[in-house]
Homo-oligomer: A and B are copies of this chain.
Amino acid sequence: METYRLLKIKLTPQRLAILNYLNGNKSHPSAETIYKAVSQQFPTMSFATVYNTLETLLNKGSIRELKIEAGKKRYDYDIKPHHHIICIECNKIVDLYKDYKIPLPEEITQEFELINKNIEFYGTCQNCKKNN
């Protein structure tokens, strides 16, 4: 609650519901998932409010927009730099907090100044390996 105040945005009940849903959430939800979850407590919640809030949080740099699902945006309230490993069978996603130093070839460093990187690992999780 105190940390929410640091966002310097109007803390409406709807926004608090969204923030509380996202806080500590490791599911990397889409806008629709968020909408469905917060609608339970807030029957009048609209998509516009969800998208508007996500947009505001994005601009504040307090959430990350993920591209782990083609054609659909997903969100992560955890902005600590991290990568993801995704099960190609069940789509389970696990966070990986590790800062890798990856050397770029000279052709690239000549052309680009590196700022950031994002790694997606793909594999099969224990559960799915078992069920094969």
On A, residues with C-beta under 8 Å from B are: 65-73, 85, 87-88, 94, 96, 98, 100, 102, 104-105, 108, 110-126, 129
From A117, which residue of chain B is reached at the shortest CB distance?
A: B121
Chain A contact surface mostly: strand
Could you tell me if A116 and B122 are in contact, using CB atoms closer than 8 angstroms?
Answer: yes
Please measure, in the bound complex, the distance between the C-alpha atom of A115 and the C-alpha atom of B85, giving whole angstroms: 10
- Return the 7 tightest CB-CB contacts between A and B, nearest first: A112-B123, A116-B122, A67-B67, A114-B123, A118-B120, A115-B123, A117-B121
Please measure, in the bound complex, the distance between the C-alpha atom of A114 and the C-alpha atom of B87, giving whole angstroms: 9
Could you tell me if A124 and B120 are in contact, using CB atoms closer than 8 angstroms?
Answer: no
A57 to chain B, nearest CB (A): 15
Could you tell me if B122 and A119 are in contact, using CB atoms closer than 8 angstroms?
Answer: no
Q: Which residues of B contact A70 (CB under 8 A)?
A: 65-67, 73
Contact of A71 among B71, B96, B126 (CB under 8 A): B71
Could you tell me if B73 and A94 are in contact, using CB atoms closer than 8 angstroms?
Answer: no
Looking at A68, A115, A125, which has the most chain B CB atoms within 10 Å of its CB?
A115
Q: Which residues of B contact A115 (CB under 8 A)?
A: 88, 122-124
From A112, which residue of chain B is reached at the shortest CB distance?
A: B123
Q: Which residues of B contact A67 (CB under 8 A)?
A: 67-70
Q: Which residues of B contact A100 (CB under 8 A)?
A: 102
